[in-house]
Amino acid sequence: MSSRLTIDAVGARGLERVLITGANGFIGRVLCTHLAAQGVTVSAVTRNSTMLPGAARIHAVGDFTVVRDWPKLLADNDAVVHLAALTHDGTHGATSARFHAINVDVSVRVAEAALACGIKRFVYLSSIKVNGESSTRDDGRMHVYMCSDPAMPADDYGRSKLAAEQALRVLWSSANGALTILRPPVVYGPGQKGNLLRLMNLVARGVPLPCAAINNRRSLVYVDNLVAAIRCALALAVPGVRCYTLADAEVSTAELVRALARGLGVQPHLFAVPAVGLRWLTSWPVIGSSVRRLTDSLVVDASAIGAELGWQPAVDFDTAIAHTCAAWRGA
């Protein structure tokens, strides 16, 4: 097991000024609030002007791909957290070129500007999709993903995140600073988007779901626990390039549906579909990918970030689901 790395304080007596790209997104908003509560001066880079609790400065830049004055935006900061990205949710019309322009080219420009400004700490939010889409091997065995595994992205989003990682590694390999890459699985919490929000809406409406016989395993991470991992990465005082997979829960799709139903105060409506029927549905061009995400396993190892950075999830799964469902009901 790896030894614990040197960690500095994040806040009034440590890193005092942090710039966050994509700060008005689901994760960025939580990170802004948490860092500000620790006494950090947060500069936020967003596409559009917005109210952003915790941000001392907000730079609305429009299309990230046309920004050329990154050094001006990054000046006088101690660290950068690069969250801005084109994701796989809601981007069915996005081309591979568009994914590359936003997720690779922009990441490189931000990192180059950070180095030019003398910034020593850079945290890049990648994705477990760099590793692949499924932990189930052809022989039926379960593989738990970690960063040392060969990368096997299966879509344009995953390939663009891998290409960004590779480019950042080259840039920072000779720099006297710390680059930390985080690969989370599905992130959930109040304000979540994507497949989990769609699943919650279905559960709340009492829609019968064909999950009763699905015996898969899916890793998740609660947004507050992910933000705690980003804080650990920001505090990393040892130069070098490091990558961590992380998760705080592992559940089957049926267990997740039942947990959401408890949080929403409704009865889960599950029924069983034979495995051959589910395999048939995964071949459908429109719904196949969604069915695969419901049925496949994707399990993540979080031991390295715990051993090296001391990250421990502070919010347990049941509490996190309760907070998520309460926020959904309130909205």
Per-domain residue ranges for the chain? 17-187+221-247+299-314
At 20, is the pLDDT very low, low, confident or very high (cuts 50, 70, 90)?
A: very high
Helix (H) or strand (E) holding 145: strand 144-145
CB 196 within 8 A of CB 281: no
- Please tell me the class of the 17-187+221-247+299-314 domain: alpha beta
Nearest to 299 by CA among 221, 212, 210, 206: 221
Q: Which residue, chain included where needed, has tokens 């730079």?
A: 59
Among 126-130, 194-198, 314-318, whose mean pLDDT is lowest? 194-198
Residues 62-120 pLDDT 10s: 999 999 899 999 999 999 999 999 987 655 568 999 999 999 999 999 999 999 999 99
Pairwise CA distance, residues 78 & 129, whole Å:
29
26: which residues sit within 8 A by CB, 6+ positions away? Answer: 187, 189, 191, 192, 193, 223
Give the end-to-end CA distance of the chain in Å, rounded to a whole number. Answer: 44
Residues 135-182 pLDDT 10s: 988 777 889 999 999 999 999 999 999 999 999 999 999 898 999 999
